Amino acid sequence: MAYRICKMIEIESGHMLSKHPANCKFPHGHSRKIEILLEADTLDKNDMVCDFAILKELMKNFLNNFDHALCINTSDPMYDTLKKAYGERIIGFEKQDPTTEVVAKLIFDKIKENLDAYCKHPKISFPIATSVRLKRVRVWETSTSWAEYEE
């Protein structure tokens, strides 16, 4: 049995789903909760999977890009116009709609990449064992709806 920890981060973000047949094709926003679940078979010398501060550090800059931004399919006819008008606050998803499922996988991949790099060069104050692994990322779109990704 594995030990698990979860860190939740909240952001405000919007998206447009150009392939959607109803209202979700229009710009709209969500108060998203992002759950990051790590696991390990054993605890570290501090009796932890890892310090929660590591999870925050692994994702802070990446998730800040999504806060108060609009995610949009680069194939959407409005993408270029919106990108010119709002610059970095428009996040393009290459030829795919930024559904919550797609966002969950993107976040999972980025955390995994950052975790692997951190394990190779941990900060002295927050060491982390290489046996710690990312289990799952869950992204809440509303208080009753979520999507998750795990390998």
What pLDDT, on the 0 to 100 scale, is given for residue 140?
97
Helices marked H in 9-130: 52-66, 79-86, 100-120
In whole angstroms, what is the distance from residue 128 CA to residue 49 CA?
8
Q: What is the pLDDT along the chain (151 residues), one digit of tens a residue?
A: 799 999 999 999 999 999 999 999 999 999 999 999 999 999 988 899 999 988 888 888 888 899 999 999 999 999 999 999 999 999 999 999 999 999 999 999 999 999 988 888 767 678 888 789 999 999 999 999 999 999 9
pTM above 0.75, yes or no: yes
Query: Under CATH, domain 3-15+28-66+100-149 is a member of which superfamily?
Result: 6-pyruvoyl tetrahydropterin synthase/QueD (3.30.479.10)
In whole angstroms, what is the distance from residue 23 CA to residue 16 CA?
9
Three-state secondary structure call for residue 63: helix
What pLDDT, on the 0 to 100 scale, is given for residue 59?
86
> CA nearest 100: which of 43, 17, 27?
17
Bridge-based pairing of strands 90-93 and 70-73 is parallel
In whole angstroms, what is the distance from residue 150 CA to residue 125 CA?
29
* C-alpha dihedral (98, 71, 36, 133), degrees to nearest 10: 70
What pLDDT, on the 0 to 100 scale, is given for residue 78?
95
In whole angstroms, what is the distance from residue 26 CA to residue 14 CA?
10
What pLDDT, on the 0 to 100 scale, is given for residue 22?
96
Q: Could you tell me the CA-to-CA distances from 40 to 47, 84, 146 in Å, in that order?
A: 11, 45, 24
